[in-house]
Amino acid sequence: MTGKIVVLLLAAAAVIAGVAMYWLQVHAFYDRLPADTPLHVATDAGPRALSLAGFEGIDATSSPLRFRACARLAEPAELDDALPATRPDPLVAPGWFDCFDAAAIGAALIRGEARGYLSRHEIARGVDRVIAVYPDGRAYAWHQLNGTLEE
């Protein structure tokens, strides 16, 4: 009988630890960003703030790769002098942040339905902020590794 109790306690502890790890990874460290958070685009003349008609974003201090944002550009034509992103590849967002669909954004970039722009180089060591913009003004931003730490 004592062996069964020990096994049940171990199983319960494993389930509790698993649920806690899941919650910590998917929910605990993310903070919603204010609606007036600016997005910039890199140009030869330096960074330039974009005119946004809407913004929804999340970030976390636990990792520079957790930033995700969805926005609508007030003036999509203002990207004429923006620097293109090198290999834009959106990272998956938590399921509860439903405005950001990395698979759809990545497919649109590959098909040429959206264009990737550099927002800020080295926003953190080895990490760039990238923005994908559709012709209708929808914009999605994320952080991705830039390859400088591979050497």
pTM: 0.83
Phi-psi bin for 142: left (phi > 0), alpha (psi -120 to 50), beta? beta
User: Could you tell me the sign of the dihedral formed by the alpha carbons of 27, 29, 35, 39, in that order?
Assistant: negative
Q: What is the per-residue DSSP string for 105-134?
A: HHHHHHHTSSEEEEEEEEEETTEEEEEEE-
Per the rule left: phi > 0, alpha: psi between -120 and 50, beta: everything else, 78 is alpha
pLDDT of residue 16: 85
pLDDT at 59 over 80: yes
Q: C-alpha angle 88/83/66, rounded to 5°?
A: 40
pLDDT by residue (tens digit) across 72-124? 998 776 788 899 998 999 999 988 999 999 999 999 999 999 999 999 999 99
Nearest to 140 by CA among 79, 59, 73: 73
19 in Cβ contact with 55 (< 8 Å): no
